[in-house]
Structure 1
Amino acid sequence: FSYSRNVLSVSVSPQKQLGATQTQTQQRLQEREKELQELRQAVESLRSSAHTAVQDTDRIFTELIRFIERTRSEVTQLIRAQERAAVSQAEGLLEQLEKEITELKRRDSELNQLSHTEDHIHFLQNFQSVCVPLGAGDSPSIPVSPHFSPEAVRRAVSGLKERLEDLCKKESIKISTTVTEVYSLLTPEPGSRAELLHYPVKRVPLPKSQWQWLCSAAAVVTLDPDTAHCELSLSEDGKRVRWGQRKSLSDNPHRFDLYPCVVSREAFTSRRHYWEVEVNRYWRIGVTRESAERKGWISSSPQQGYWCLDSYLSVFSALTAPVIPLPLSLWPRKLGVCVDIEERKVSFYTVESRAHLYTFTDMVFAQGEKIYPVFCTEDSDKDLELLPAVSLEINPVTDS
C-alpha cells in the first residue's frame, strides 16, 4: 500500500507540473495574441493619423505659400502703383515745363526781334507787353531725385526673407521634435525599467538644413577651474575633464564641494547657443542657472536649477522629477546641447545620428540671470571632452 501511494504521488506531481505549464503557456499565448491585435490596431491608427497629419500639413503649408504669394503680389502691386503715381506726376510736370519752355522761347524770339527793330514806333508800342517781369509762379522749382535705387526695397524684402527663414528653421526643429515624440510607435511603456532601457528605439535624424541651423549657434565653451570639484582634473586649455584623486584646492562660493562637477567660464543671457561633448561612461551634462546651489547634496533637477541628462551604471536618463529613463539604444558617444534663452528650453541630441534625445521646457530663471553649461563625471579612465566649434560638421546621415 505504501509503495502504491508513493507511485501515485510521483505520477501526480508531473501531471500537476504539466498542467501548470500548459496554463502558463495558454496565458502567455493569450497575452501575445492580445498584444499582436493591439499592435496591429496601433499601426493602423498610426497610418491613419499620419495620413491625416500629412493632409493637414499640406493644407497649412499651401495656405502659407498662398499667403506669401499674396504678400509678394501686394508688394509688387504697391511698387507698380507707386511707379504709376510718380510717373503720372512727373508727366504732368513735364507737360507744364514743356509749355513754359515753348512760351519762353516765343518770348525770347519776340524780345530778340524787338531789340533789332529800327521802327521806333513799333518798339514803343510793343515794349510794355514783352517786358513784363517774370513772376515767381511762372517758373516753379521742381525738386528731382537723381537716383532711384531699388536698394532700400531690396534690403527690406531681404530682411523679411531672412527673418522668415530663421523663423521657419527654428519652428521646424520644434515640429521635428514633436513628430518624433508623437509617432514613436515602437516606444512602448514596458512593465519594468530594464525593459525600457534595452528596448531598441530608432529616432529619425533631423533634416540637414535643420542641423545646419542648429550648428550655426555654435558656442566656444571652456571649463572654469575655479568651479571644479577637488576630484576633477582639467586640461590646461579647459577642454577636457577627468575624475581622479582628491586635490587640495582653495574653497570659494562657486566651487562644487560634494558632486564632481564643473561649469564653464562662459555664461549665456540671451539668444541660442550650441556645443558638443564627447562623453565617457559616467557623466551628467546640461545647464544650470547662476543662482543654483553648488554646495552639499544636489539632485540636479529643474527644481534646483539644473537641466541635465545623466549616464551612470548602464542607466541613461533625463534628470526630471521624477527621473525619466531613456533607452540605452539612444545613448550617444557625442552629445549635442542647445540652450535657447528666449524660449527657455534646452535640448539634447545624438551627434552621430543627428537625433533628438530630450528637451527641457519652461526653464525657470530670473530675467537676465546667467545660464552656465555644466559637466559632471566619475570616470577615471576617459575624459569628458568639449569639441571645438570648427568640428561641428554635418555628419553623413541619410536624410529622409
Structure 2
Amino acid sequence: MARANASWSEENFSCSICLDVFNSPVSTPCGHNFCRTCIAKFWDEQVKYKCPVCNKLFDTRPDLQVNILLSEMVDRFGTSVQVKEQPCVEPADVPCDVCTGTQLKAVKSCLVCLISYCQTHLEPHQRVAVLKKHRLVEPMDRLEDRMCKKHDRLLELFCQTEQVCVCQFCTETDHKSHPVVPLKEEYEVKTAQLGKIEAEVPQMIQERKQKIKEIKGTVELSNKDADREIADGGHVFTALIGCVEKCRDEFNKTVKEKLKSTVKRTEHLIKELEQEIEYLTNRSSEVKQLSHTEDHLHFLQAFRSLKDPPPTRDWTTLEVRPPSYVGTLRRSLDQLEETLNMEMEKLPDDAELKRVQQYEVDVTLDPDTAHPQLILSEDGKQVHDGGVVKALPDNPKRFTKNIRVLTRQSFSGSFYFEVQVKDKTAWWLGVARESINRKDWIIATPETGYWTLFFNKDELEFRDNPAVHLPLRAELQKVGVFVDYDEGLVSFYDVEARVHIYSATGCSFTEPLYPILYDGDINSAPLIISPVNQTD
C-alpha cells in the first residue's frame, strides 16, 4: 500500500499549468489542484473562470484556499520528485524559459511548445506520454524566430534564389523549384564572404582616416590662405580708401576754389556797381540843384562840367554765370581709376602664384586624342607639330581637323599645371570640356567649350567672342594654368615673371575639364608639360 501511495504521489505532485512541483497548492471547487500563483495568473487572463483541466465553468471567481493535506504531502515526498540541481545560466547559454527567480541553463528546446527547459522543467517531457511526442532539439535562443511563420516548422534550409531561410515544407511549395542547401552549408559560404569583408573593412577605415587627414589639411591650408588673403586685401583696400579720400578732398577743394573765384569776382562787380550808383546819385543831386539856380553866370559855369558823360561802364553786355563743374567729377574718377590700376599692379602676384601651385596635378598627353600632324614624346610630356599628317587608326576621341591634343587626365575640382612655351612663336593652351567637337573645324571659345590663351608673334589674347587682347609680355617662357571648378575660374600666369596674365571669371562648368595644347610652329622645339618648381 505504501508503494502505491508513493507511486500516486510522484505522478500527482506536479502542477498541470507550470508542470513543476506544487508551490502553495490550492484546490478548485471541481477538486483539481494547482499552484496558487499559476491558477491566479491563468484566471487573470481569462474572460470566464474555468478549470484548466476539466474546463468546468464557475459563475464567479472561486475563493481558493490552500490544500493543507496536499501541501504536507508535497513537503513529505518532495525529495522523491526533485531532480539534481542544474547549474545557473551563463551569458553564452540559453536560459530556461520556465524558471522564475534564478534562471537555470536550458538543456533542450521544444519545437512544439516553443519553450526552452532546464533539466528540472524538462522532466514532464520525459515522463508524460503526450509531451514525449514533442520534438526536442538542442537549446535554441528566440525559438519563435527560428520557426517558419507559414508552416510552423523549424527553419533548417536556405533558399539560394531568394536568399531566405525556409523549412522543409517550403521546399515542397513556394520554393519547390529553387536550389536549397542546409543552413550550415550556406553559413560556411557566408562566413567566408564575411571574412573577406572583414579583411576589407580595416583598409576602408584606413582610407577614410587618410581622407579625413587630407580634408583637415585642406581646411588648415584654407585658413592660412584666408589669413594671407585678408592681410593682402587689407593693405590694398586701405590704400584704396586713402586714395578715395584724397580724390574726394581734391574734388571738394576744386569745387570750392571755383566757387570762391566766382564769389570774389561777383563781389568786385557789385562793389563797382555800388560805387557808380553812389556817383550817379551825387550827380543827380547836382543836376537838380543846378536846375533851380537863377544865377546865369554860375549856371553856365557849372553846366560845363555836367554836360560830359559820366565815367561809368556799359553794364548791358556784362553777363555773370555760375561756375561750371562739368568734367570735375569725371577727372577725379579718372584719377581714382588710374590709382586703382596702380594698386592692382602692386598686388602680390608671387604669393598668389605660390598658392595656386599647391594644386599641381600630374598630367600626360593622350596620343588617342592627338591630331595626326602632332608628334608626342614617349612619356607624354612633350608635343610639337611634325608638319606631316600621319596615317593613324580612326578613333572617336581624336582631333581630325584642329591640330590639338588633350591630356589623359580630366578634373572636376581645383587643379594647376605648367607648360613651357620657350622658343615658340605660336601656341595655344588652356582647358576644354569633355564633350567638345573633335571632328570639325571649331573656333575655340567658352561657348564651344574652350577656355584658352593664344599667342602668335605680336599678339596675346584670351580666346573669346570677341577675343580679349592682352599686353604682350617680354620673353614669356612658361605659362601656368589654374582652374577653380566650383568658383568658375580659369587663370593664366607668367611663371618666370611670377605675375598674373588673365583670369576668366563666372565660367559655367558642368562636366570634366581636360588640359589642352596646340603647337602652332612647324619646328622641333616642343611644348613641354613641366613640373612645378615653387622656389622659382
| TM-score w.r.t. length of structure 1 | 0.49
Higher relative contact order (CA 8 A, sep 6+): 1
Higher helix share: 1
Which one has the largest radius of gyration? 2
